[in-house]
Each structure stands twice: as structure tokens, then as C-alpha cells.
Chains A and B, each alone.
Chain A
């Protein structure tokens, strides 16, 4: 296999789509600004130059309609790749997504598969305020029928996208803006080696990004590199943190989470989505249900404290978990009362 370094998930996702499109005429890309701007955050960049406007299609601003068109096209033999630009815009197309795209296979008794790949950008940290900085993957994970993918590395982004493009179900890929590697945004990922050839990564397998023995930090998206940075700082204090990247919220790899919780006895879940009724609650429940006897302290969580993302810098950094707060929370957890030894 040949490989080269790649900076960011945007390039990786676009390459995966390109490789699948070149061999599979059923794949079409549609959404707002998917041509010139490659869906604004680069997930479809370069594709229209190669495949033209017949297969890479700028739609009018009609989210409800183009999501519905994806439902109809998927039901009749295509595999649409649909751009939802910012996840914050999902409200405008959500009916077609959660009532149809996610349910038609089930409701039809398995008659209509729904192979749709939805690409969307998530996250804040650069001052785009409450309507352009949300994460919201918890909403999709809550509705039965969607697979929910949150890559944190370029390698994963390519492999998971190719899996999505070969899946017969609606898959929503949430690309964090601070991991895209685009020049106009801060980049919090790493340049990494990515094979040129197509490859897939199965859904439902969490990645242990760092092994550790004292506590487990579970994260997704940009919270993974932040947790890894926090783990380096914790190591200087003699705290050995294990860092797990969930990678797919649906299907969720409960086994890896539980095994790590059993190993370390202490779990911190870090999330950039809103705290209540979200990913942290679901993961904490599943972990305690299977590892209660092994937990030495209650599970801790760090998430956005149920406020919209504010615009001003000091306010924004107060609510989105950063490395400092992960370190602080992990230290508190490492020193927390032993309850189940």
C-alpha cells in the first residue's frame, strides 16, 4: 500500500467519496455549495471538477426538499451523498430525515433500503455563535435508523466514509470544523499517514488512542485530541489516563468502553454536545450497567452545560470543554473517593 501524509478530515472524506464515485455510478453528491466550496467545509472538494454538475449538484436552498429527494433517490437505486452544510441547519430538513430517511426501511418491512450518506459540520471554538457552532449528534443518535459517525482523524475519516458509502442505511458523518485541516480554521488534529488506496473501517469499533491504568477518558470528535493533550499533562502528575475515541455513536462499541472501565475503575466522558439527555448520559448508563462493581467512583462527565453556544470569546471558552477543564475534571476524578474497591 502506498501512503502519504494528510492534514485533516476534509481531504480524507473528499478522497473517500471520490474513490467510491469513480467505481460506483449510483453515488451522487448534492447540497448547498457542494461545487465551488466543496460543501463549505471541504467534504466534497474537487469532486465537481472531476464528475461535473450531473453528479455533484448544487441545490437551491431547500433542505427539506433535497433531503426528501435523497429518500426518493435511495429508494430507487441511487446512493445520494447529501451535504447538510452546518448541522445547525438540520431543522430545515429534519422531517424528511427523522420521519422518512431513518424509518422507511423499518416501516416498509424491509422493502426499501435507504442508502444515504449525510455529511455535516459540527462544533464551535472559533466564534460562530449559537446557530453555527452546535454539535447535535445526540439528536441523530436518539432517533432509531441513523448510523452516527464522528471521525477524529484523517485515517478514520477516510475509512469510515467508505464504509458509509457501502452501507445500505442512512449514515450521518459529523466532521468537526477544527479537524477539517482547512486553512481558514484552527486545526487541532495531527498530520498523519493515510493510505492512498481505498479501505474501510467497520462501524461499532471504538479506538483506544492511549492506554492507561488510572482512569478512562471517553470522547468523540475534537474532544479526542483535546483529551489526548490532557492525558499528556496528567501523565506529568503521575496520572495514567486511557483515552478512548468512540468513533461511531451508533452502533456503539459498549464492550470496549466497559472493558476500559473495568480496567481503570474511573471514567470521565467528554462531549461537546449539550450535557442533558445526551451522549454522556447514554454512555454513562451503559458503562455502569455492565461495570458497576468495578467502578471506584461515580462516572464524571464534561459537556456543554445546557446553554446555547455564546458568541463572545470568554463566554464561548467557558462552555466548550477545553484541555484545562479536562485535566481539572480528570484530576478530581483520580482523587475521588473510592466507592467500590
Chain B
């Protein structure tokens, strides 16, 4: 699903059509850098206490850890089109979506560390991030995001609010019954819903070829009369252009859209994954399509940035990511008695 790099006139044409300005692209570049740095710092901290013998319970960050390094363009391309009032329902791999939706990196990091200052006061952890102000939620259960986002879309329409709801998922989740069932209801009711499938080719360890009878999940949308875009998920401009049309359609009351963004996770399904199910060559091939480097090269080609501008944006992002991690590390753990509070509203 990789596209050839557009020639400069084509690039201008694409940007004009998508309504992407220099400022918007620079902001996307910075945002992708922030996500990348944040995720890499989390990976580093997660490894503390887990080497040489990997033990999930050891170290400052416990439990499973699913990172999205390589998938930044999908999150940023979609979420840069959303307002705080638009809903995003994410998955077990949620950090890039959360940051792209504008969640405070410090409170996000603090939640991942289980701290009292975290988004959920340490009760949710890395897979269960919630921020009501940003209308962001997620689930560690595969396939759970579709109906919940459809519910938000239903609620927006019932309450006369001009918002859209976005469900993120992996391609493995789209085999789940909730995908078909959600498309049925959302198409029937013309809900303002956008389903974004991050097709990173693997459901945990199971390759797409072993779990899908057709080539792409987005093909299924046709069966429900739902338009679908198949986009290059390593190209933020491609993602943005499709997402813009989908979101505009939703806001105008024309119903749901499916976007399937072919992308790649550079890291394993979880930190500690031995990755025997794929080759090193495959990972390296995909790294040559890195979404951040690609956008940087295009910005230079367009004359919209030089190396110094990009370096400055990268440094700013690195500083923000480091500050977030420091805030998390310095924050206190919750008191034990808090475990018994908050079951009911």
C-alpha cells in the first residue's frame, strides 16, 4: 500500500486540495516527533528492572506495554482534524491517539507510571486511558472501540451537537463481530462516525494472511453501503486528506466512513515480544518509509522548512516528552485506601 512519492507540483496539488498549510504541516511534524520521543522514552523506562530477565511485574512501569512507534502518522493525520468535543475511542495501543488528541503528556505519562497525578489517578494504566475534557477513552478489549464510538456518534446527533466520533482499531479487531454489527447500525442510522483501522499487518503475532480471507478490511464497508478509503498510513498527508473528507461527511450528516491506513509497528506487539513471527528485513524495509522522515523531506522539498527549522521542532518535542516523563517519575504513588473508592458515581 505504499505510494510513490509525489512530484513537487503534485504535492502542491494534494496539499491545496486537503487545505493543508505550512503551519499545519509543521505542527503535524512536531506532534509526530513528540509521540515518537514519548514512546521511546516509555520503552526505555519500561525496560528498567526488566533486564536481563524480562519480568512484567518488575520496574517502574508494570504490566503489558504496547507501543505505536511507526504509526504516528495515522493518529496525527486523523486527530489534527478533531476538536476537543469530538470523541475518540482508542485501543490497547493508545498513546499516539491520546497525544494526537491533545491530552497532556505529563498526565498521560503519570498514568502509565501508575501515579496519583495520572489521567485516571493510577487506576487505569497504559491500556485504559480516559480524559473527559478531551473526550478520549479507550479499551484493552479488542473490538470494543467500534460500538462505543458509534454510541458517542448517536449521542451527538440525538443532542444536536455537531461533533463526530472516531473509533481506532487494529486490522485484527476488524474481524471481530463488533465491526460488522457497528457498521450495520451506523450505516442504517447514518451516524457521524469514522472508523480508522490501523492495518499494521499483525494481530498480536498472527499475520493478516492467516486471519483474513480478503485483502483489506475496508472492502467490507461496501457491504454496508459505507464509503471507505484505503490510505498509506506511513504518509500523514494521505491520512489527513482521507480523514478530512470522512469527517466533513460525518459533520454534514451523511453518515459513517471507514478509513484503512496501512502502516507498521516498528516494535513488537508488546515490549518483550521476541518477534519470531516476522523477519528483521521486513521491519527494516518499513523503517525506510518512516512517516516523520518522509514529512521532513517533503517540508524541505516544498521550501517550507530547512534543516534548522526541523531540528528546532524536534528539540521542542524532545523537551516536552522529557518533561512529561520527569513529571510522571516525580509524582507520588496513590494511597492504598484509594483502591476502594470510585466504583460507583
Q: Which residue of B lies closest to A131 (CB)?
A: B140
Tell me, yes or no, whether B336 is within 8 Å of chain A by CB: yes
Report which of B120, B126, B173, B334 forms a contact with A314, defined as CB distance below 8 A: B334
Closest to B120 in A: A311
Q: Is the CB of A127 within 8 A of B205?
A: no
- Give the docked Cα–Cα distance between A91 and B334 (Å): 30
* A305 CB within 8 Å of chain B: yes
User: Other CB < 8 Å A-B pairs besides A58-B211, A129-B128, A314-B339, 11 of them?
Assistant: A33-B205, A36-B206, A62-B175, A89-B141, A126-B63, A128-B125, A183-B53, A184-B272, A312-B122, A317-B336, A319-B340
8 A Cβ contacts from A1-40 to B: 32-33, 35-37, 40
| B337 / chain A contacts, CB cutoff of 8 Å | 318
B26 interface residue, CB < 8 Å from A?
no
Task: Name the interface residues of B100-142: CB closer than 8 Å to any CB of A.
Answer: 111, 114-115, 118, 120, 122-128, 139-142
Closest to A124 in B: B63
Q: Does B41 reach chain A (CB closer than 8 Å)?
A: no
A-B contact pairs, 21 of them (CB 8 A): A33-B204, A35-B205, A58-B210, A60-B206, A61-B176, A92-B141, A127-B62, A127-B63, A127-B125, A129-B140, A132-B64, A184-B56, A186-B55, A186-B57, A307-B343, A311-B62, A311-B128, A312-B114, A312-B115, A312-B122, A314-B333
Quick one: CB contact mask for A124-157 with B, threshold 8 Å, 1 for yes? 0111111110000000000000000000000000
Contacts of B128 in A (CB 8 A): 129-131, 311
**Is A312 within 8 A of B56, CB to CB?**
no
Residues of A within 8 A of B276 (CB): 36
Name the interface residues of B249-273: CB closer than 8 Å to any CB of A. 272
A contact residues vs B (CB 8 Å cutoff): 32-33, 35-37, 40, 58-65, 88-89, 91-92, 125-132, 183-186, 305-308, 310-319
Taking CB atoms, residues of chain B closer than 8 Å to A307 are 339-340, 343
Flag if A37 contacts B57 (CB, 8 Å): no
0/1 string, B31-42, CB within 8 A of A gives 1:
000000000000
8 nearest A-B residue pairs (beta carbon): A127-B62, A311-B125, A312-B114, A312-B122, A127-B63, A126-B57, A60-B175, A131-B140
Main DSSP-derived SS at the B contact region: loop
Inter-subunit contact B211/A60 (CB<8 Å): yes
Shortest beta-carbon distance from B300 to chain A in Å? 41
| Chain B residue with the shortest CB-CB distance to A305 | B340
Smallest CB–CB gap between A34 and chain B, Å?
9
Most buried by A among B55, B57, B62, B173: B57
- The closest CB in chain A to the CB of B337 belongs to A318
Of the residues B56, B115, B120, B139, contact of A131 by C-beta under 8 Å: B139
Secondary structure at the A interface, as helix, strand, loop or mixed, is: loop
Which residues from chain A contact B338 at a C-beta distance below 8 Å? 315
| CB nearest to A315 among chain B residues | B339
- Report B-chain residues with C-beta under 8 Å of the C-beta of A92: 141-143, 176-177
Which residue from A61, A310, A311 sits with its C-beta under 8 Å from B142? A61
- Given A61-B175, A61-B211, A185-B57: A132 and B205 within 8 A (CB)? no
* Closest-CB distance, B327 to chain A (whole angstroms): 16
The distance in angstroms between the C-alpha atoms of A92 and B122, with both chains bound, is 26
Number of interface residues of B (CB under 8 A): 50
Chain B hits for A305, CB < 8 A: 340
Contact flag A312-B333 (CB < 8 Å), given A36-B277, A60-B175, A61-B211: yes
A32-B204, A311-B124 as given contacts; A184 in contact with B177, CB under 8 Å? no
Q: Which residues of the other chain, B, contact A311 by a CB distance below 8 angstroms?
A: 62-63, 111, 114, 120, 122-126, 128
Cα(A313)–Cα(B64), bound, Å: 14
Q: In whole angstroms, what is the CA distance A308 to B277 when docked? A: 34
Contacts of B27 in A (CB 8 A): none
Shortest A86–chain B CB gap in Å is 9
CB distance from A39 to the nearest CB of B (A): 11
With contacts A131-B140, A311-B125, A318-B339 taken as known, whether A58 is within 8 angstroms of B206 at the C-beta atoms is: yes
Cβ-closest chain A residue relative to B332 = A314
B94 an interface residue at 8 Å Cβ cutoff? no
How close is A85's CB to chain B, nearest CB, in angstroms?
9
| Min CB–CB distance B333 → chain A (angstroms) | 5
B203 and chain A: residue at smallest CB distance: A61
Most buried by B among A35, A88, A129: A129
Contact A310 B122, CB 8 Å, known A33-B204, A92-B143, A128-B64: yes
State in angstroms the CA–CA spacing of A317 and B173 once bound together: 32
With both chains docked as a complex, state the minimum distance between the C-beta of B201 and any C-beta of chain A, in angstroms: 14
